[in-house]
Amino acid sequence: MMKKIALIYMGGTFGCIGDPLSPMPAEQFIPKLQHILPLDQQIECFVAPVIQDSSACTATDWLKLIQYIQQLQLQQFQHFVIIHGTDTLSYASAVLSRFLGQSAHVVMTGSQYPLLNAAGDNTREFTDAIDNLNFALDCTVKYPVGVYLAFHHHLVHAQTALKIHTTELDAFNGVNAAQPITLSSQYHIVQENDISKAATFNCLSLMAQPIAIEQQIANLKNLQQHPPHVLILQGFGTGNLAVNQEFIATLHAIHAQGCAIVLTTQVPFGTINQHYAVSEWTQHANIIISDCLGHADLYAKALKMYLQYDSVDQWHAHWHDSV
């Protein structure tokens, strides 16, 4: 029996025309998109609640998308392909994975080149858009429930996705979808209050640089004046940072103002290893050790924690729950 697929368009390079590129209005683009869809699949096209360049996307946009998917699920859709811009595609993928869990078959995709030519009246002579879309459509009916990212004939678990190149067709990496890994499985039904609360979500990532510790402390003290909801410290290697008592005291002061501090690594692949020196000082510095599958996944988990818990103490108590 043919499975019906909801194809949701959210903008990005995929739907741009002109030189320089600019987005074609969705109501004009969708009929052209329908024209190139494979005839051997039952596909219905939808326009996402928010259409914009992905560099401008925030948590509220992805939560509205999730809410839209959950509404379509009530209409008996269980297979979804999302066309999204590549700039924040890894973040979108991780957020959808954290909130949808194993509730549906969802494949994210996009393209490095537009589907249409500059005039917008025909398909572009050279484009990866058609290949990426057909690959995503094929994957959504062949793979188990879960959220995936399909790009340049590679399918990866969405929660692990990472953009690794700005312009090459092979632009994303992550854990291959055929490889079993432990993923977030908790389904979260997005409510209007989630979207409202997400609008104020303030997440700041501070990548450590090889500078004197006095300068590191000075940077933290600047943040201490107006701390975000969550401060992500990207350490070296397995999460190592040079610290002293003043550094730790400054972290305590930031934490005391309701800021959740999470330690991760700036290295793209691999996780924090507690067998190294990093583990000693973290035990009494009021910080959380990341257990996420990548930087975008850490953002997604922090967002979900922010929506679920009101105090930083609750973050510490529930961080290692299956969020």
Which residue, of 173, 193, 225, is where some domain finishes?
173
The predicted model scores a pTM of: 0.95
| Within a domain: 54 | yes
Based on the domain organization, do 75 and 147 belong to the same domain? yes
Q: What is the CATH number of the domain that holds 69?
A: 3.40.50.1170
Which residue, of 135, 153, 173, is where some domain finishes?
173
Based on the domain organization, do 219 and 138 belong to the same domain? no
Gap between the Cα atoms of 85 and 9, Å rounded? 10
Based on the domain organization, do 114 and 48 belong to the same domain? yes
| Within a domain: 213 | yes
Predicted pLDDT of residue 136: 98
Q: How far apart are the first and last CA of the chain?
A: 35
Domain count of the fold of the chain: 2
Predicted pLDDT of residue 274: 52
Gap between the Cα atoms of 233 and 131, Å rounded? 38
Based on the domain organization, do 30 and 131 belong to the same domain? yes
Q: What is the CATH number of the domain that holds 283?
A: 3.40.50.40
Gap between the Cα atoms of 161 and 168, Å rounded? 16
pLDDT in tens, the chain (323 residues): 689 999 999 999 999 999 999 999 999 999 999 999 999 999 999 999 999 899 999 999 999 999 999 999 999 999 999 999 999 999 999 999 999 999 999 999 999 999 999 999 999 999 999 999 999 999 999 999 999 999 999 999 999 999 999 999 999 999 999 998 888 778 899 999 999 999 999 999 999 999 999 999 999 999 998 999 999 999 998 888 999 999 999 999 999 999 999 999 999 887 775 555 556 788 788 899 999 999 999 999 999 999 999 999 999 999 988 66
- Of the candidates 120, 103, 118, 148, the one whose C-alpha atom is nearest the C-alpha of residue 26 is 120
Based on the domain organization, do 163 and 214 belong to the same domain? no
- Of the candidates 203, 124, 132, the one whose C-alpha atom is nearest the C-alpha of residue 172 is 132
| Within a domain: 243 | yes
| Within a domain: 195 | no
Based on the domain organization, do 112 and 238 belong to the same domain? no
Predicted pLDDT of residue 239: 86
| Within a domain: 163 | yes
| Within a domain: 300 | yes
Which residues form the domain of 254? 202-318
